[in-house]
Amino acid sequence: MGTNTENLQAYGNLRNRAVYHARNFWAGTFFGIGLMAFIDEVIFHQLLQWHHFYDLSTTQAGIFADGLLNAFAWFVAIGSLFLFANLRRRNALWPKRWTGAVFLGAGVFQLFDGIVNHKLLRIHQVRYNVDILPYDLAWNISGAVLLLVGLVILLQTRKTRKKAKESS
């Protein structure tokens, strides 16, 4: 009886993954964005204090863009957890696809922060009073790696979905 229910659950989950594949993607991406913004705030602003709240090169457009981005990230950091809970409740969680999307979201945030916020809008730099180039490289390369890992995992889940479609 116990295994029978488990089988039903597992079978249902496989079917629901296909229905909710987009929701798994967005729940993961939002969580990745929120997580990275949170890490940025806690580690680089508060603990290391490398990032400054404001520096003199900050432009008005920078303040504006940063406010929007952080408000969005703060909202989705929390909202994505509820999306995750909803997927679990519906027996539709696809852990691999969700994880891939988390990497993707984290990578996109990191790259956006590193290129647009730090370099184009000059909101603040990674660190002050040091040669900034190695820091910028490390920042953006790590972002690109996260993004790539996410893409690879997501492509794999896409293949699984195609195969499942063909066999059914």
Partner 1 sequence: MMNGHIQTTGTSFETIAGGIGIAAVLLYFVMAALTGKKFRKWPVHRYFLWSIGVLCAAAAVTGPLAALAHTNFKVHMMGHLLLGMLAPLLMVFGKPMTLLLRSLSTRYARLLTRLFKSRPIRLLSNPLTAATLNIGGLYLLYMTDLYMMTHQSLFLYALVHVHVFLAGYLFTISIIYIDISPHRFSYIYRSVVMILALAGHKILSKYIYANPPSGVSKPEAEAGGMLMYYGGDLIDLALITIFCYQWYKDATPRAFPSMENTD
Indicate whether 21 belongs to the interface with partner 1 (CB under 8 A): no
Is 90 a binding residue for partner 1 by CB under 8 A? The answer is yes
Q: Compute CA distances 58 → 53, 117, 122, whole Å.
A: 10, 10, 5
122 lies in the binding site for partner 1 (CB under 8 A): no
Structure tokens given for 41: 């705030």
First to last CA, the chain: 27
Question: Closest CB to partner 1 among 64 and 128?
Answer: 64
**DSSP H stretches of helix in 41-131:** 60-89, 95-112
- Choosing from 39, 57, 64, 148, the residue that interacts with partner 1 (CB under 8 A) is 64
As a whole number of angstroms, the distance between CA 50 and CA 128 comes to: 7
Candidates 71, 120, 130, 137; binder of partner 1 (CB under 8 A) is 71
**Interface residues with partner 1 (CB under 8 A)?**
8-9, 11-13, 15-16, 19, 53-54, 58, 63-64, 66-68, 70-72, 74-75, 78-79, 81-82, 85-86, 89-92
